[in-house]
Copies of this chain bind each other. A is one copy, B any other.
Amino acid sequence: MTKTGVFYVGVDLGGTSLRALVADDEYKTVGVKKVRTVTTGGPARLIRKIATLVESTLEEAGIARSLVRAVSVGAPGPIDRARGIVEEAPNLGWRRVPLRSELRQLLRVPVFVENDVNVGLAGEHALGAGRGARNLVGIFVGTGIGGALILNGELYEGSRGGAGEIGHTVLMVDGPLCGCGRRGCAEALASRTAMERDVRAAIKAGRKSNVLRIMKKKNKERMTSSIIAAALKKDDPLMREVMERAQFHLGILCSNVVNLLDPECVVIGGGIVERLKDSYVDPIRETAFEYFLRPADRERVRIVAGKLGDNAGALGAIVLAKQRLL
């Protein structure tokens, strides 16, 4: 059945998967498809893959290309959004890739490009856990820790589009080494990568744990969110301890940003929260509340799990495209 009306395609371009979502003018999802990201073959190959995915998602949803107002992509790394260039995306192997112009040439519709974390927060703000907040902080925990800010109702991008690097807040001078080369960043204390490092080091030092066995059984090389969830379900004491430490540091991170920016809401998103939901966020909130400078903020500031799950990025990309088309 061919549909009528006006439609948008949001694309979430991640280091491991690529997702396209088609929604109507009211953000009702009419189609969604996910494929694996390819990083071999250079940017041109991946951009063709994005175009093919957009086309097949539209086709399966029964939507003619002429009904599509815009395709909007959330891409990792800093973005030159005026020109639609992805400045640098290490996990794609990209550097100064003119994603917008190349994709527009392939698809012949207006294309927007925005940072992946920014689109995730824009989605939660318009349609998810952050609705109604004038000032909103997003913290996305996965292999790294990304951040985004909505201030005075709008995405705050900073002077050169680089705002939001909350994962590189130093919380512990001389703490563990971070991927960025410094020590004690939140990312080095509370990301999935940091948790895996701590679990492996403890096991090497003789601590008992089922985590490696679970990984082997599930045929995973990395301690993914599903491994973490399985280990916690088995009440693995090491996993619990490492998780509690990560949550404690995330609580302090939340409190730091609430004390500085006085927002109404902090949304915690990313892979772990999608698995563990409130059981992940509750202890983070408890620590944050303890560290709030203004006790009254405990009544006023919501610290909540993201609601849109895997679709936050693609939906948020559509939200931003609609704003820009206005």
Q: Which residues on A are within 8 Å of B, measured CB to CB?
A: 78, 133-135, 147, 149, 151-152, 156-166, 168-173, 180, 182, 248-249, 252, 255-257, 259-264, 290-291, 293-294, 297, 300
The answer on a CB contact under 8 Å between B180 and A293 is yes
**14 residue pairs from A and B, CB less than 8 Å apart:** A78-B294, A135-B158, A149-B260, A158-B263, A159-B262, A163-B260, A164-B262, A165-B293, A168-B256, A169-B260, A171-B171, A180-B293, A256-B256, A257-B260
The answer on a CB contact under 8 Å between A170 and B168 is no
How far, in whole Å, are A156 and B168 apart by their CA atoms in the complex? 22
Q: Identify 15 new A-B residue pairs, CB closer than 8 A, beyond the known A156-B261, A159-B264, A166-B259.
A: A149-B260, A151-B152, A158-B263, A159-B300, A160-B262, A162-B262, A162-B294, A164-B262, A170-B171, A170-B256, A171-B172, A172-B172, A172-B173, A173-B249, A257-B260
Tell me the nearest residue of chain B to A178, going by C-beta: B293
Give the residues in chain B near A169, CB-CB below 8 Å. Answer: 169, 256, 259-260
A289 to chain B, nearest CB (A): 12
A286 to chain B, nearest CB (A): 14
Give the residues in chain B near A259, CB-CB below 8 Å. Answer: 165-166, 168-169
Give the residues in chain B near A257, CB-CB below 8 Å. Answer: 260
A190 to chain B, nearest CB (A): 11
Most buried by B among A151, A159, A164, A294: A159
How far, in whole Å, are A169 and B166 apart by their CA atoms in the complex? 12
How far, in whole Å, are A260 and B264 apart by their CA atoms in the complex? 18
Tell me the nearest residue of chain B to A162, going by C-beta: B262
Give the residues in chain B near A166, CB-CB below 8 Å. Answer: 259-260
The answer on a CB contact under 8 Å between B264 and A164 is no
Give the residues in chain B near A164, CB-CB below 8 Å. Answer: 260, 262
- Say which residue of B165, B171, B262 sits within 8 Å of A173 (CB atoms): B171
How far, in whole Å, are A255 and B256 apart by their CA atoms in the complex? 14
How far, in whole Å, are A152 and B151 apart by their CA atoms in the complex? 10
A14 to chain B, nearest CB (A): 20
How far, in whole Å, are A273 and B70 apart by their CA atoms in the complex? 52
How far, in whole Å, are A90 and B152 apart by their CA atoms in the complex? 29
How far, in whole Å, are A80 and B305 apart by their CA atoms in the complex? 31
Most buried by B among A256, A257, A259: A259
- Say which residue of B152, B162, B182 sits within 8 Å of A152 (CB atoms): B152
A158-B262 contact, Cβ under 8 Å, with A170-B291, A291-B170: yes
A254 to chain B, nearest CB (A): 11
- Say which residue of B134, B157, B168 sits within 8 Å of A159 (CB atoms): B134
Give the residues in chain B near A293, CB-CB below 8 Å. Answer: 165, 168, 180
